[in-house]
Amino acid sequence: MVRPKLLITRKLRPAVEGRAARDYDVVLNPEDRVLSDAELIAACRAVDAVLPCHSERFTAEVLDAIGPGLRIIANHSVGTDHVDLEAARKSGVVVTNTPDVLSEATAEIAMLCMLGAARRGAEGDALVRSGAWNFWSPAFMVGRQVSGKRFGIVGMGRVGQVTAERARGFGMQVHYHNRRRLPSHQEKGAVFHDSLESLLAVSDVLSLHCPATPENAGLLNARTLALLPERAIVVNTARGALIDEGALISALSSGRLFAAGLDVFQTEPGGNPDLSRLPNVFLLPHIGSATEETRDAMGFRALDNLDAFFGGQEPQDRVA
């Protein structure tokens, strides 16, 4: 039987690449860098399937240029904002993602971002490393305690639900806003708010877990940030497009917000130099799902979707 040709756009975990090579005629990107649109188009034209990450952008133009040969985009990501799903539907390309398997890892990073921001993790780390730590007093490097505070979640999908459980473990009262209220067994004891505004008003820590749809772009902006309690903390492990970074920088610089813990940025890689200059931010380079276990599971899940598709079945994680 002729094995399907599969393009893998980035370096994956050895066990994932091994399994892919067993079942597919694999084309690798040996340099593990983001392919330009022209390179992506040329590479995708030569294969039946592609296994990309969120770093590759499948716009309507790119999909149109690739043409009808490509049959499936099996993403190695839960987020699909890098793929124009409507254009994919129109051109008949199946699109899948990797939900569930990264919820725990991402919730852990949300907790790291929260604690790093609340307890001034970046400042403390930099001070010790610099060799300039020569002082201690009860007034030194005092942060905000999270126990007993209110933790607000925007987007109570799988990652939001696991994050709710973790925040409760820190003794926080959890609140959430979602398009629709969840059945009580999925609420994890969190209080539902039917509007974003109502959630913001009670969130000492606000954590974003919703997808970056066009409607959600700039969800946190000058108006909505002003609704948070004084000296609140903002956590973002979802997508940079959800926050107007200029408005966030103003709120952090003025002291209106206590701090922010961010794993994602409007511009990636690189981030925002104006954010990086602030002392009250804790920053990570988009590593929410970056654990050995989760990256294995994401790769295997993407391959499961490919196997189902080429086996004539409906892939379990089909999004278009």
Binding site for ligand DGY (CB under 6 A): 53-54, 77-79, 102, 288-289
Residue with nearest beta carbon to ligand DGY: 79
Please tell me whether the peptide bond between 269 and the residue prior to it is cis, using omega within 30 degrees of 0: yes
Beta bridge partners of 96: 74, 318
In which order are the strands placed within the sheet that holds 150-154?
191-193, 173-177, 150-154, 205-208, 232-236, 257-262, 281-283
Work out how close the CB of 284 gets to ligand DGY at its nearest, in angstroms, rounded to a whole number: 12
Residue 52 main-chain phi, psi, to 5 deg: -100, 175
Nearest distance in Å: CB 79, ligand DGY: 3
Nearer to ligand DGY, 53 or 162 (CB): 53
As measured in angstroms, the least distance from the Cβ of 287 to ligand DGY is 9
**Residue type (1 letter), 51:** L
Rounded Cα distance, 281 and 260, in Å:
5
Are 276 and 25 in contact by the 8 Å Cβ rule? The answer is no
Give the amino acid at 167.
A
Nearer Cβ to ligand DGY (188/286): 286
Beta carbon nearer to ligand DGY, 173 or 291: 291
Q: Which CB atom, from 106 or from 200, has the smaller least distance to ligand DGY? A: 106
Beta carbon of residue 8, minimum distance to ligand DGY (angstroms, whole number): 15
Question: How far does CA 143 lie from the centroid of its chain?
Answer: 26
Torsion of CA 224, 153, 189, 100, to 10 degrees: 160
What tokens were used for 23? 């079942």
Smallest separation, CB 1 to ligand DGY (Å): 32
Rounded Cα distance between 116 and 258, Å, is 12
- Nearer to ligand DGY among residue 8 and residue 228 (C-beta): 8
Query: What three-state secondary structure class fits 243?
Result: strand
Task: Give me the active site residues, please.
Answer: 239, 268, 286
